[in-house]
A and B are shown apart, each in its own frame.
Chain A
Protein backbone atom coordinates (compact mmCIF):
# COMPACT_ATOMS: atom_id res chain seq x y z
CA UNK A 1 0.00 0.00 0.00
CA UNK A 2 0.90 3.66 -0.15
CA UNK A 3 1.49 3.96 3.58
CA UNK A 4 1.50 2.00 6.80
CA UNK A 5 -2.02 0.88 7.57
CA UNK A 6 -3.28 -0.01 11.03
CA UNK A 7 -6.53 -1.51 12.17
CA UNK A 8 -8.70 -1.02 14.02
CA UNK A 9 -8.28 2.73 14.36
CA UNK A 10 -10.21 2.66 17.60
CA UNK A 11 -10.97 -0.20 19.95
CA UNK A 12 -12.85 -0.20 23.23
CA UNK A 13 -12.60 -3.42 25.17
CA UNK A 14 -13.53 -4.69 28.58
CA UNK A 15 -10.86 -5.38 31.14
CA UNK A 16 -9.71 -8.98 30.94
CA UNK A 17 -10.47 -9.44 27.24
CA UNK A 18 -7.84 -10.13 24.60
CA UNK A 19 -7.27 -7.71 21.72
CA UNK A 20 -5.45 -7.97 18.41
CA UNK A 21 -4.07 -4.97 16.58
CA UNK A 22 -3.00 -5.28 12.98
CA UNK A 23 -0.33 -3.49 10.98
CA UNK A 24 0.21 -3.58 7.22
CA UNK A 25 3.63 -2.08 6.50
CA UNK A 26 4.65 -0.36 3.30
CA UNK A 27 5.20 -2.96 0.62
CA UNK A 28 8.81 -4.12 0.47
CA UNK A 29 9.78 -2.74 3.87
CA UNK A 30 11.69 -5.33 5.83
CA UNK A 31 11.78 -3.56 9.19
CA UNK A 32 8.65 -3.19 11.33
CA UNK A 33 8.27 -1.54 14.72
CA UNK A 34 5.56 -1.36 17.37
CA UNK A 35 5.41 1.52 19.83
CA UNK A 36 2.97 2.49 22.56
CA UNK A 37 2.08 6.05 23.47
CA UNK A 38 0.04 6.87 26.54
CA UNK A 39 -1.89 10.14 26.62
CA UNK A 40 0.51 13.08 26.52
CA UNK A 41 3.56 10.86 26.79
CA UNK A 42 6.44 9.88 24.55
CA UNK A 43 6.74 6.74 22.48
CA UNK A 44 7.57 3.54 24.29
CA UNK A 45 9.36 0.98 22.13
CA UNK A 46 7.69 -2.44 22.23
CA UNK A 47 9.06 -4.77 19.57
CA UNK A 48 11.11 -4.67 16.37
CA UNK A 49 11.14 -7.07 13.43
CA UNK A 50 13.91 -6.98 10.85
CA UNK A 51 13.75 -9.39 7.94
CA UNK A 52 14.18 -12.99 8.99
CA UNK A 53 16.09 -12.13 12.16
CA UNK A 54 14.68 -12.97 15.56
CA UNK A 55 12.54 -10.03 16.71
CA UNK A 56 13.82 -7.67 19.39
CA UNK A 57 11.18 -8.07 22.10
CA UNK A 58 13.06 -6.13 24.74
CA UNK A 59 10.38 -3.45 25.03
CA UNK A 60 7.38 -5.66 25.68
CA UNK A 61 6.09 -4.64 29.14
CA UNK A 62 4.80 -8.05 30.24
CA UNK A 63 4.13 -11.57 28.99
CA UNK A 64 0.57 -10.50 28.20
CA UNK A 65 1.99 -8.76 25.14
CA UNK A 66 3.12 -10.63 22.06
CA UNK A 67 3.55 -9.91 18.39
CA UNK A 68 4.12 -11.86 15.25
CA UNK A 69 4.88 -11.03 11.68
CA UNK A 70 3.68 -13.43 9.06
CA UNK A 71 5.48 -13.83 5.76
CA UNK A 72 7.66 -10.84 6.48
CA UNK A 73 4.75 -8.48 5.95
CA UNK A 74 1.63 -8.07 8.10
CA UNK A 75 2.13 -7.93 11.85
CA UNK A 76 -0.31 -8.54 14.69
CA UNK A 77 0.19 -7.25 18.22
CA UNK A 78 -1.80 -9.23 20.75
CA UNK A 79 -2.59 -8.10 24.28
CA UNK A 80 -4.05 -10.79 26.50
CA UNK A 81 -6.18 -10.15 29.58
CA UNK A 82 -6.17 -6.41 28.99
CA UNK A 83 -5.77 -4.04 31.92
CA UNK A 84 -6.79 -0.39 32.18
CA UNK A 85 -3.15 0.67 32.06
CA UNK A 86 -2.94 -0.83 28.58
CA UNK A 87 -5.09 2.05 27.31
CA UNK A 88 -2.92 3.94 24.83
CA UNK A 89 -2.28 4.54 21.16
CA UNK A 90 -0.39 1.67 19.58
CA UNK A 91 1.73 2.90 16.69
CA UNK A 92 3.24 0.74 14.00
CA UNK A 93 6.05 1.87 11.73
CA UNK A 94 8.10 0.36 8.93
CA UNK A 95 11.32 1.16 7.10
CA UNK A 96 13.00 -0.20 3.97
CA UNK A 97 15.66 -1.96 6.02
CA UNK A 98 16.99 -1.84 9.53
CA UNK A 99 19.88 0.30 8.39
CA UNK A 100 20.47 3.03 10.99
CA UNK A 101 20.08 5.82 8.46
CA UNK A 102 16.65 4.77 7.32
CA UNK A 103 13.64 6.95 7.99
CA UNK A 104 10.75 5.06 9.50
CA UNK A 105 7.19 5.63 8.37
CA UNK A 106 4.33 5.54 10.85
CA UNK A 107 0.74 4.48 10.61
CA UNK A 108 -2.01 6.54 12.20
CA UNK A 109 -2.19 4.29 15.22
CA UNK A 110 -4.76 2.13 16.94
CA UNK A 111 -6.40 3.83 19.92
CA UNK A 112 -7.10 1.24 22.59
CA UNK A 113 -9.36 1.99 25.53
CA UNK A 114 -9.78 -0.61 28.24
CA UNK A 115 -12.86 -0.07 30.41
Chain B
Protein backbone atom coordinates (compact mmCIF):
# COMPACT_ATOMS: atom_id res chain seq x y z
CA UNK B 1 0.00 0.00 0.00
CA UNK B 2 1.16 3.57 -0.66
CA UNK B 3 1.17 6.21 2.04
CA UNK B 4 3.02 9.09 0.40
CA UNK B 5 2.55 10.57 -3.03
CA UNK B 6 5.24 12.76 -4.54
CA UNK B 7 4.61 15.60 -6.92
CA UNK B 8 5.71 16.21 -9.62
CA UNK B 9 6.43 12.75 -11.01
CA UNK B 10 9.30 14.18 -13.04
CA UNK B 11 11.22 17.44 -12.93
CA UNK B 12 13.88 18.76 -15.27
CA UNK B 13 15.93 21.85 -14.38
CA UNK B 14 19.17 23.57 -15.28
CA UNK B 15 22.21 23.29 -13.07
CA UNK B 16 22.22 26.04 -10.47
CA UNK B 17 18.43 26.27 -10.22
CA UNK B 18 16.46 25.15 -7.19
CA UNK B 19 14.37 21.98 -7.28
CA UNK B 20 11.24 21.57 -5.19
CA UNK B 21 9.48 18.27 -4.70
CA UNK B 22 6.31 17.73 -2.72
CA UNK B 23 4.93 14.80 -0.80
CA UNK B 24 1.42 14.27 0.50
CA UNK B 25 0.46 11.54 2.93
CA UNK B 26 -2.75 10.15 4.32
CA UNK B 27 -2.50 9.27 8.00
CA UNK B 28 -1.03 10.92 11.09
CA UNK B 29 2.71 10.50 11.28
CA UNK B 30 5.48 10.43 13.84
CA UNK B 31 8.04 11.63 11.35
CA UNK B 32 8.66 11.79 7.62
CA UNK B 33 11.83 10.82 5.81
CA UNK B 34 13.25 11.63 2.39
CA UNK B 35 15.41 9.20 0.44
CA UNK B 36 17.33 9.41 -2.80
CA UNK B 37 17.82 6.68 -5.38
CA UNK B 38 20.37 6.77 -8.15
CA UNK B 39 19.27 4.86 -11.20
CA UNK B 40 18.70 1.21 -10.44
CA UNK B 41 20.40 1.23 -7.07
CA UNK B 42 19.48 1.12 -3.42
CA UNK B 43 18.01 4.12 -1.66
CA UNK B 44 20.02 6.42 0.57
CA UNK B 45 18.55 8.31 3.49
CA UNK B 46 18.71 12.11 3.15
CA UNK B 47 16.84 13.69 6.02
CA UNK B 48 14.19 13.03 8.66
CA UNK B 49 11.73 15.59 9.98
CA UNK B 50 9.68 14.93 13.08
CA UNK B 51 6.00 15.74 13.37
CA UNK B 52 6.70 18.59 15.81
CA UNK B 53 9.17 20.25 13.43
CA UNK B 54 8.19 22.60 10.64
CA UNK B 55 11.48 22.99 8.81
CA UNK B 56 14.84 21.29 8.75
CA UNK B 57 18.07 21.94 6.86
CA UNK B 58 20.95 19.74 5.83
CA UNK B 59 23.51 21.29 3.52
CA UNK B 60 21.71 22.26 0.31
CA UNK B 61 18.57 20.43 1.40
CA UNK B 62 15.61 22.08 3.08
CA UNK B 63 12.61 20.08 4.18
CA UNK B 64 9.32 21.51 5.40
CA UNK B 65 6.43 19.71 7.03
CA UNK B 66 2.84 20.88 7.32
CA UNK B 67 0.95 18.34 9.39
CA UNK B 68 -2.33 20.23 9.00
CA UNK B 69 -2.13 19.70 5.24
CA UNK B 70 -0.41 16.33 5.55
CA UNK B 71 2.31 17.46 3.20
CA UNK B 72 6.06 17.92 3.04
CA UNK B 73 8.40 19.51 0.57
CA UNK B 74 12.04 18.90 -0.27
CA UNK B 75 14.01 21.81 -1.69
CA UNK B 76 17.42 21.30 -3.23
CA UNK B 77 19.18 24.61 -3.71
CA UNK B 78 21.83 25.39 -6.33
CA UNK B 79 21.30 22.03 -7.99
CA UNK B 80 24.13 20.09 -9.60
CA UNK B 81 24.16 17.45 -12.31
CA UNK B 82 25.08 14.96 -9.59
CA UNK B 83 21.70 15.61 -7.93
CA UNK B 84 20.04 13.77 -10.82
CA UNK B 85 18.15 10.91 -9.14
CA UNK B 86 14.75 9.86 -7.91
CA UNK B 87 13.58 11.24 -4.59
CA UNK B 88 11.10 9.48 -2.33
CA UNK B 89 9.29 10.43 0.84
CA UNK B 90 8.59 7.72 3.39
CA UNK B 91 6.36 7.44 6.43
CA UNK B 92 5.10 4.74 8.74
CA UNK B 93 1.66 3.30 8.08
CA UNK B 94 0.68 3.77 11.70
CA UNK B 95 1.94 4.42 15.19
CA UNK B 96 4.59 2.28 16.80
CA UNK B 97 6.34 -0.61 15.18
CA UNK B 98 4.98 -0.45 11.65
CA UNK B 99 6.79 -0.72 8.36
CA UNK B 100 8.14 2.25 6.44
CA UNK B 101 6.30 2.83 3.17
CA UNK B 102 7.36 4.96 0.25
CA UNK B 103 5.69 7.15 -2.33
CA UNK B 104 6.18 6.72 -6.07
CA UNK B 105 8.98 9.25 -6.20
CA UNK B 106 9.98 12.30 -8.20
CA UNK B 107 12.54 11.80 -10.96
CA UNK B 108 14.81 14.82 -10.99
CA UNK B 109 17.04 15.59 -13.96
CA UNK B 110 19.58 18.36 -13.59
CA UNK B 111 21.00 19.46 -16.92
CA UNK B 112 24.53 20.82 -16.97
Contact = CB atoms under 8 A, between A and B. Distances in A.
Interface of A: 4, 33, 35, 41-43, 45, 48, 50, 53, 56, 58-59, 89, 91, 93, 98-101, 103-109, 111
A100 B33 CA distance: 10
A107 B96 contact: no
A42 B1 contact: no
B59 interface: no
Which of B31, B100, B102, B104 has most chain A Cβ within 10 Å? B100
A45 B101 contact: yes
Interface residues of B, number: 26
Contact of B43 (A59, A91, A101): A91
A56 B99 CA distance: 8
Nearest to A53: B97
B57 interface: no
Contact of B40 (A50, A89, A98, A107): A89
Contact of A43 (B30, B41, B88, B97): B88
Given A42-B102, A98-B97, A106 B40 contact: no
A69 to B, nearest CB: 14
Given A42-B105, A59-B1, A106-B44, A33 B30 contact: no
A101 B48 contact: yes
